[in-house]
């Protein structure tokens, strides 16, 4: 996705709460403090794909889908932080633009969902099968832009000194290779 190709780090917001990596380095929640380092996610492109990214927390762990149900009998599976030994599909997300907002799609077709309501739902984050709900839509703020995407500083233009002509001497004192074509023609006429 073009939007994420320019981003080195992002914040993801649902209404007034930001996707946050908790200090236990395993839990993902929502928090109102968007300036906290825990709300900052480093964007890593997945090699060989222009559409898929990974999101790395300030702790070096990745936003990861799990197969564990968030609540027994309810839809939605946990989203956690992990440091897998091999980076696979569980840490890969495909951004899907919808108007001015984004959905983050798992490789399995589910979407990242911000949950609200009463505990234990309040401030939780899950992934679930798509259905009509704005809980899947996120505002994405670019926090840091990749250096190579920034326009380079204008190059310093150095004007060379004016061309200096050789001192004019008589046509006979110069070799024939030094004489201009016009001078050589004038010599042959004489």
Write the pLDDT tens digit of every residue in 60-98.
999 999 999 888 767 799 999 999 999 999 999 999 999
The verdict on residue 36 lying in a domain is yes
The verdict on residue 164 lying in a domain is no
The verdict on residue 55 lying in a domain is yes
The verdict on residue 176 lying in a domain is no
Total number of domains in the chain: 1
The verdict on residue 166 lying in a domain is no
CA 110: distance to chain centroid? Answer: 22
Cα 46 to Cα 13: distance, rounded to the nearest angstrom: 23
Q: Which of 96, 159, 79, 158 is nearest to 104 (CA)?
A: 96
CATH number at residue 68: 2.80.10.50
Average pLDDT over all residues of the chain: 83
The verdict on residue 27 lying in a domain is yes
List CB contacts of 1: < 8 A, sequence separation 6 or more. 50, 51, 53, 94, 95, 97
The verdict on residue 179 lying in a domain is no
The whole-model pTM stands at: 0.75
- Domain, as residue range, for 97: 2-149
Q: What number of other Cβ atoms are within 10 A of residue 31's Cβ? A: 15
């Amino acid at each position: 996705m073009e939007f994420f190709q320019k981003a080195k780090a992002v914040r993801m917001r649902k209404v007034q709460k930001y996707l946050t990596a908790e200090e236990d380095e395993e839990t993902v929640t929502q928090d109102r403090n968007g300036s906290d380092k825990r709300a900052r996610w480093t964007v890593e492109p997945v090699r060989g794909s222009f559409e898929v990214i990974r999101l790395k927390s300030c702790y070096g762990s990745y936003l990861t889908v799990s197969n564990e149900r968030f609540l027994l009998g309810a839809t939605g599976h946990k989203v956690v932080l992990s440091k897998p030994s091999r980076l696979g599909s569980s840490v890969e997300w495909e951004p899907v633009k919808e108007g001015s907002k984004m959905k983050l799609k798992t490789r399995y077709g589910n979407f990242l969902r911000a949950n609200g309501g009463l505990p234990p739902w309040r401030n939780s984050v899950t992934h679930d099968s798509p259905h009509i709900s704005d809980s899947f839509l996120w505002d994405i703020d670019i926090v840091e832009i990749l250096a190579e995407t920034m326009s380079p500083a204008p190059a310093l233009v150095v004007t060379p000194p004016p061309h200096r002509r050789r001192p004019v001497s008589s046509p006979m004192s110069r070799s024939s290779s030094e004489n201009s074509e016009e001078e050589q023609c004038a010599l042959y006429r004489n």
